[in-house]
């Protein structure tokens, strides 16, 4: 499925922009650090920090584009943005790419852009809440999401493509248990994707009860 024109043009801009010094300067779209010469900022992000910025920018645009177009392919879009969509082991189409999109639990489609709290203020939600929690398994349950979050949203933690919860450490017994069960059942074991508790929360993950309670 080819990307539509709007998606191609967003991707082209995101790919063309040099994100490696983005926090340290205000410059136009399509900024290229190579052109700055002696005016280049002394500070520069590392390669992985730069990749994170680009990936986050890609996700923000993809949330809107995916909501607009039911045929939107986030992997194709990410690749056009210059985002590496492989797993850490080099396999194609890593599950963490679609995990960056907020999905509507009722319809399975890319969810409406913006703050859901704001939608609550708007009229005419027509869908009755489901009696059972039918949200996909990469999303925390209401109880998991209601747990006490660290005060600092930049607290480091990890998720996986299919995990409901953010964990603090790979030593976590609950995480180890799910890995063991997945292996026993011959399921894919998704590798940890390090993130922050704030980002995990924004992606509707819950809190691991083992990792974060003393
Ligand atoms: Zn845990």
Domain spans of the chain, in order of start: 1-125, 135-214
How remote is the CA of residue 212 from the centroid of ligand 1, in Å?
Answer: 7
How remote is the CA of residue 137 from the centroid of ligand 1, in Å?
Answer: 16
Give the pLDDT confidence of 138-196 residue by residue, as tens digits: 888 788 888 889 999 999 999 988 888 999 999 988 888 888 888 888 888 888 999 99
How remote is the CA of residue 12 from the centroid of ligand 1, in Å?
Answer: 38
How remote is the CA of residue 202 from the centroid of ligand 1, in Å?
Answer: 18
For the record, the structure tokens of 113 come out as 């852009």
> What's the half-sphere exposure (Cβ side, CA atoms, 13 Å) at 48?
4
How remote is the CA of residue 54 from the centroid of ligand 1, in Å?
Answer: 28
- As a whole number of angstroms, the distance between CA 183 and CA 181 comes to 5
How remote is the CA of residue 92 from the centroid of ligand 1, in Å?
Answer: 27
Helix ranges (H only) for 120-205 are: 142-145, 173-184, 197-202
- As a whole number of angstroms, the distance between CA 165 and CA 207 comes to 5
State the pTM of this model: 0.56
- As a whole number of angstroms, the distance between CA 154 and CA 39 comes to 31
Q: Using pLDDT thresholds of 50, 70 and 90, give the confidence band for residue 209.
A: confident
Which residue bears the tokens 């790419």? 97
For the record, the structure tokens of 198 come out as 């704030």
How remote is the CA of residue 197 from the centroid of ligand 1, in Å?
Answer: 12
Give yes or no for a contact between 208 and 159, defined as CB atoms under 8 angstroms apart: no
């Amino acid at each position: 499925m080819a990307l539509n024109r709007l998606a191609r043009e967003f991707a082209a801009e995101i790919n063309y922009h040099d994100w490696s010094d983005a926090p340290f300067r205000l410059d136009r779209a399509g900024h290229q650090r190579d052109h700055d010469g002696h005016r280049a900022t002394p500070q520069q992000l590392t390669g992985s920090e730069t990749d994170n910025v680009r990936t986050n920018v890609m996700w923000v645009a993809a949330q809107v584009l995916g909501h607009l177009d039911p045929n939107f392919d986030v992997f194709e879009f990410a690749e056009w943005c210059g985002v590496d969509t492989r797993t850490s082991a080099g396999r194609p189409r890593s599950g963490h790419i679609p995990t960056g999109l907020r999905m509507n639990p009722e319809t399975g489609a890319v969810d409406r852009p913006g703050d859901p709290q704001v939608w609550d203020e708007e009229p005419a939600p027509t869908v009755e809440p489901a009696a059972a929690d039918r949200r996909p398994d990469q999303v925390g349950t209401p109880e998991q999401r209601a747990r006490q979050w660290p005060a600092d949203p930049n607290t480091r933690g990890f998720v996986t493509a299919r995990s409901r919860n953010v964990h603090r450490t790979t030593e976590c017994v609950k995480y180890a248990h799910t890995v063991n069960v997945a292996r026993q059942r011959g399921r894919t074991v998704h590798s940890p994707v390090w993130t922050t508790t704030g980002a995990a929360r924004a992606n509707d993950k819950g809190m691991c009860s083992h990792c974060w309670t003393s």
